[in-house]
Amino acid sequence: MTMQGSKVFAEGSDDAARTIVAFCRYAREQGLAGGVQVTLGGLRAALCLGMANRETLRSGLRAVICSSKDEWELFDQIFETFWDPVESKHSQRVPRRQQRRGVDDSDRNPSTLMSGAVGENQAEGQGSQESAGASELHRLRKADFSTLRQDDLAALETIVLRLLRQMSARLSRRQRMATSRGRLDLRRTIHHSISRGGDPIDLRYHKRKPRPNRLVILLDISGSMSPYSLFLVRFVYVLQKHFKQVNTFLFSTELVEITRLLHARRPPEALRSLSQLATGWSGGTKIGACLSDFNKLHARKLRRADTVFVILSDGWDTGEPEMLAAELAAVKHRVHKLIWLNPLLGLADYQPITRGMSAALPYIDVFAPAHNLESLMALERHL
Amino acid sequence: METSVGSSPSASSQSIDTIISGFEHLGYVTDRSLATAIYLVTQLRKPLLVEGHAGLGKTEVAKVLAAFLAARLIRLQCYEGLDISSAVYEWNYQKQLLAIKIQEPSKQTVEEKEKHIFSREFLLERPLLQSILVEEASPVLLIDEIDRADEAFEAFLLELLSDFQVTIPELGTVHAKHVPYVILTSNRSRELGDALKRRCLYQWIDYPDLEKEMRIVRTRLPGIEQQLAGQVVQFVQFVRKLPLSKPPGIAETLDCAQALIALGKHRLDPEAVEETLSCVSKSVEDSAKIRSAGLERILSLPTGQ
């Protein structure tokens, strides 16, 4: 591809080239893909199609510039606005990118829960001397999260990290043993048999590449979960540092993906910006609606064969149980295993008879408690 | 990558019209948007990524394009776990083993024997290699349901689509004599990588509107009665608006119409709907939703055609 900008067009049609370049730049400002390649593609398409027929030009540029359904749907309006700026309502469109940026920039009142998380981080410095003796460690592993003191949290995090290291080591060893002798590698077997007159004496094997499971975590942050959610967020944060493929979502009345935030190097800042993302922080719960959002927006990223789906919630749902059941069934269809961790299951007299929970039970592969460290670490058995 | 850059705009407009009429002649009703994209495929020689719901004729685009260009169609159906040996090439091991046995008494050196059993004669060409080896003219390469293959394969494909060459360690590098026209389809069950999407032209195929769907039914089923066609299309258009887990595509409309013709129906009444419901709905839940959606209203509408 040696064509360069205006050279593509014949002498005298510089204007046309300039218009296309300007349009590509405009489209990029409006949130579509951009770059030299896209612009060159646009120029070549326009050269093939000519500028005279607006409809044809629109179809051509759309095919070149767009690369997803979302962009496809945005394109027509952008095209109209660029070519007929007077007729369409230019000022009403807020560029998508700027909208997104706006969310990140604003820095207003973090919720009480998150300010707890930040304050707790300061305690981390003192708490991480690992002075926890055996009995202390034992106490912390068994302690219900809702009864923990602020400064226990830091100590807990250290323990989690240590346990996770063991846990992931165990995980990988298990995979190797199971697949130590894979399929016969005929190609290499034959290669080696040539010098032995064609008798395949040394068999060669394909070794199966271990592929770690992908983890998807949905964490309930509604009011009823608040004694637990502070610690569970930190647990997920540590988990995400340790496993490569973890997607994390928060939900209450709305679903918010926080995977990228948890990848931030410094958790307190990440957690603070969380409070701005999650509008339903400690409000009511609509599990069904949130799962529906998940199915619509995020489920496409999953592959059935290797995804473990974990919901951390107490099952108090203000939505329709029928919807919850239908959406869970859809999720179940998409994933390898569906795990529901319920902190209330740690209570001696708890029965999963809330409407939401009983609607959900038929679709759950593993129903386990999540009220203390020990119960969380038991997650390993199911991964 | 040579493109016939000299084509004038009016020629392009004519070519696009030719594509529309040519496709229609082959039984595929298309619109200007898709025809323009296909024209650009032939001019810019970029791959075309076609996305859309199931049953809207994505795969058909490649088949009809091949027929239209009188080119060979080579199809690669993707699935999870698709690997190089089933997509690009594989050695014919049984034949190789036999050849080694036959060569045993000969005086050839080990190197000569090796060269012999790793020659083209023993190579099983899979779709992607086939598309590169075609001698006579550019074939149409259909990579169907690319969203089902995994990311690793997608990355490999990206390399192939930029260079159109395959390296076989035992044989060397094979370059394409004629760069294939590439059509990729995706059901969006997984998001594709940015790099692959950027390399392709893009086309989103949506459910057709009433008028276009009527034309499709009449093109594909020329014998259908006007009234029946109108009713079926209106019925399916109505059903698509219901919150179903699998809304019917054009394939389902055609199935339903064909079933009605086979049953000797002349108009669509509740009884006929019940009998052909399995063409339109693919699950018990969807069927229940359709039944309870007040079909009488839609069936009593004048067809207006």
- Please report, for residues B19, B68, B72, B84, the alpha-carbon distance to residue B39 in angstroms, rounded to integers and kept in the order given: 8, 12, 18, 31
Tell me what pLDDT residue A35 has.
83
Question: Could you name the CATH architecture of B9-80+133-205?
Answer: 3-Layer(aba) Sandwich (3.40)
CB contact under 8 A, A48 and B49: no
pLDDT given at position A146:
67
Residues A348 and A219 in one domain: yes
Q: Rounded to a whole number, what is the distance in angstroms from the first to the last CA of chain A?
A: 49
Domain boundary among A87, A104, A121: A104
Question: Number of A:B CB contacts under 8 A?
Answer: 122
Residues of chain A in contact with residue B7, where contact means CB-CB under 8 angstroms, are 48
Q: Which residues of B touch A1 (CB under 8 A)?
A: 1
The reply to whether A158 and A121 lie within a common domain is: yes
Cβ <8 Å between A64 and B110? no
A-contacting residues in B 246-305 (Cβ below 8 Å): none
Nearest to B47 by CA among B205, B182, B203: B182
Return the pLDDT at A373. Answer: 76
pLDDT at B12 (0 to 100): 83
Half-sphere exposure of B161 (CA within 13 A, CB side): 25
The pLDDT of residue A119: 36
| pTM for the predicted model, two decimal places | 0.65
Would the CB atoms of B32 and A59 count as touching at under 8 Å? yes
Question: Is the pLDDT assigned to residue B162 strictly greater than 50?
Answer: yes
pLDDT at position B108 is 85
Comparison of pLDDT for B47 and A333, the residue scoring more? B47
A146 & A271 share domain: yes
Return the residue in A67, A72, A303 with the most chain B beta carbons within 10 A, the one to mutate for interface testing: A67
Query: Are A258 and A310 found together in one domain?
Result: yes
Nearest alpha-carbon partner for B207 in B252, B258, B274, B144: B252
Percentage with pLDDT > 90 across chain B? 50
- Find out whether B227 and B267 touch, Cβ atoms under 8 Å: yes
Taking 50 as the pLDDT cut, the residues of chain A under it are: 1-8, 11-12, 88-133, 173-177, 179, 279-280
Contact (CB<8Å) A48/B43: yes
Instruction: Clarify whether residues A86 and A120 are in a common domain.
Output: no
Q: Is A22 helix (H, G, I), strand (E, B) or coil?
A: helix
**Does B197 contact A67 at a Cβ distance shorter than 8 Å?**
yes
Q: ∠ CA A27-A30-A32 to the nearest 5 degrees?
A: 60
- Determine the Cα–Cα distance for residues A248 and A258; give it in Å rounded to an integer: 6
Name residue, tokens 């637990």: A228
Taking an 8 Å cut-off on Cβ atoms, the answer to whether B36 and A59 are in contact is yes
Looking at per-residue pLDDT, the higher value among B150 and B241 belongs to: B241
Assigned token pair, A194: 């040539």
pLDDT in tens, B178-204: 999 999 999 887 778 888 988 899 999
More confident residue, B88 or B189: B88
Maximum mean pLDDT: which of A276-285, A312-321, B111-120, B209-218: B209-218
The DSSP secondary-structure symbol of B139 reads P
pLDDT at residue B30 greater than cutoff 60: yes
Tally of domains in chain A: 3
**A256 lies in the same domain as A196:** no
Same-domain status, A186 and A315 = no
For chain B, the structural domain boundaries read: 9-80+133-205, 89-125, 210-299
Which of the residue ranges A181-195, B132-146, B214-228, B264-278 would you say has the lowest mean pLDDT? A181-195
Among A56, A193, A330, the residue with its CB nearest the CB of B13 is: A56
pLDDT value at residue B253: 94
Is some CB atom of chain A closer than 8 A to the CB atom of B32?
Answer: yes
Do A334 and A217 lie in one domain? The reply is: yes
**A46/B81 Cα distance (integer angstroms):** 40
pLDDT at A124: 37
Together in a domain, A127 and A267: yes
Residues B243-256: tens digit of each pLDDT: 888 899 999 999 99
Task: Give the per-residue pLDDT at B46.
Answer: 92
The three-state secondary structure class of A250 is strand
**In this structure, what CATH number is given to the domain that contains residue A244?**
3.40.50.410
Burial code of A285-316, b = ≥16 C-beta within 10 A, e = fewer? bbbbbbbbbbbeebbeebbeebbbbbbbbbbb
Q: What is the pLDDT of residues A69-113, one digit of tens each?
A: 888 988 999 999 888 876 544 444 444 444 443 333 333 333 333
- Give yes or no: residues A326 and A290 share one domain: yes
Q: Average pLDDT in the B49-64 region?
A: 93
Q: Name the residue range of residue A76's domain.
A: 5-104
Q: Does A300 touch chain B (CB under 8 A)?
A: yes
Q: Which residue of B has its CA nearest to A304?
A: B80
Is the pLDDT confidence value at B82 over 90? Answer: no
Contacts of B35 in chain A (CB under 8 A): 59
CA-based nearest distance B150→chain A, Å: 9
Determine the Cα–Cα distance for residues A253 and A298; give it in Å rounded to an integer. 17
Same-domain status, A355 and A270: yes
| Residue B226, min C-alpha distance to chain A (Å) | 31
Summarize the confidence of residues B151-166 as an average pLDDT. 88
- Domain end: A75, A104, A133, which one? A104
* pLDDT number for residue A209: 58
The DSSP bridge partners found for residue B74 are: B141
* Residues B180, B159: Cα–Cα separation, whole Å: 14
Determine contact: A67 vs chain B, CB below 8 A. yes
Question: Nearest CA to CA, how far is A118 from chain B (Å)?
Answer: 36
Closest by Cβ to B37, choosing from A37, A55, A59: A59
A82 and A129 belong to one structural domain: no
CA gyration radius for chain B? 24
Q: How far apart are the first and last CA of chain B?
A: 49
Give the residue from A104, A128, A154 where a domain finishes: A104
Higher pLDDT, A13 or B290: B290
